[in-house]
Amino acid sequence: MSTPVIEFDQVSLGWGDRVAVRDVSGVFEPGSLTAVVGPNGAGKSTLVKGITGLVSPLRGQIRLANAARIACLPQLSDLDRSFPVTVYDLVAMGSWPRVGSWRRFGRSEHDSIHQALNTVGLADFAQRIIGTLSGGQLQRALFARLMLHDADTLVLDEPFAAVDRATTEDLIAIISNWHSEGRTVIVVLHDLDLVRSHFPQCLLMAGQAVAWGPTLDVLTTENMHMARHLCAGDFL
């Protein structure tokens, strides 16, 4: 059996005396494509923060494979769009873990930035200030930045919120390509039809792991009813 990229062992996450995620156990296998779903308040974003190290477990352990390189795309609402940075410079930040934030970029890095912008359809937007972009354009730029990380594990938190259908389809194609390259991809989503169509694995959260495995086995009427009951909320 392959070594899991990420393993949760009876993990609880939260802040102080507030527990947002309780007793989660399971693994993300190398090369897997997994959607994390659940009602509003289910702990999906907290789970992402645990994976990326922004929140430490209150109990249990999160084990990462040796040399695992994880890159994260946060929610759009977490980005300060008033900061006067160009699209080019925003995307270039994806190279920082590899080349450092103060080193001069070489020709190959500049080529990689332009290639990423072209892939997401923003080749002509390099010198635009990010505050002038629509939500969909900004999300495309953040996908380009994620490409520059060249990580083997990619974690995306609500990447299709506030973007149109055409943008969603383009970004889904990029995610599918990452999966075909053998990268491990974890995506927080609320559109269950999208999950059923494109994500072979699914983790259903409701403050705990209600079900984790093949998508069609997870998104059953019984499991979703249980998730709604535990969170007393709808899928958002």
Instruction: Compute the distance between CA of residue 167 and CA of residue 162 in angstroms, rounded to an integer.
Output: 10
What's the whole-number mean pLDDT along residues 66-84? 83
Q: Model confidence at 1, in pLDDT bands (50, 70, 90)?
A: low
Q: Model confidence at 215, in pLDDT bands (50, 70, 90)?
A: very high
What's the whole-number mean pLDDT along residues 105-123? 89
* pLDDT of 179 above 90: yes
Instruction: Compute the distance between CA of residue 18 and CA of residue 158 in angstroms, rounded to an integer.
Output: 23
What's the whole-number mean pLDDT along residues 136-141? 94
* pLDDT of 120 above 80: yes
Look at residues 190, 72, 172 and name the one whose alpha carbon lies nearest to residue 120.
172
Q: Which residue has the higher pLDDT, 24 or 110?
A: 24
* pLDDT of 236 above 60: no
Instruction: Compute the distance between CA of residue 87 and CA of residue 95 in angstroms, rounded to an integer.
Output: 14
- pLDDT (tens digit, 9 = 90+) per residue, 41-73? 899 999 999 999 999 999 999 999 987 899 999
Q: Which residue has the higher pLDDT, 174 or 231?
A: 174
Superfamily of domain 1-69+152-236: P-loop containing nucleotide triphosphate hydrolases (3.40.50.300)
Looking at residue 70, its pLDDT comes to 94
> Environment class of residue 195 by beta-carbon count within 10 Å: exposed (0-12), middle (13-18) or buried (19+)?
buried
- CATH 3.40.50.300 range(s) for the chain read 1-69+152-236
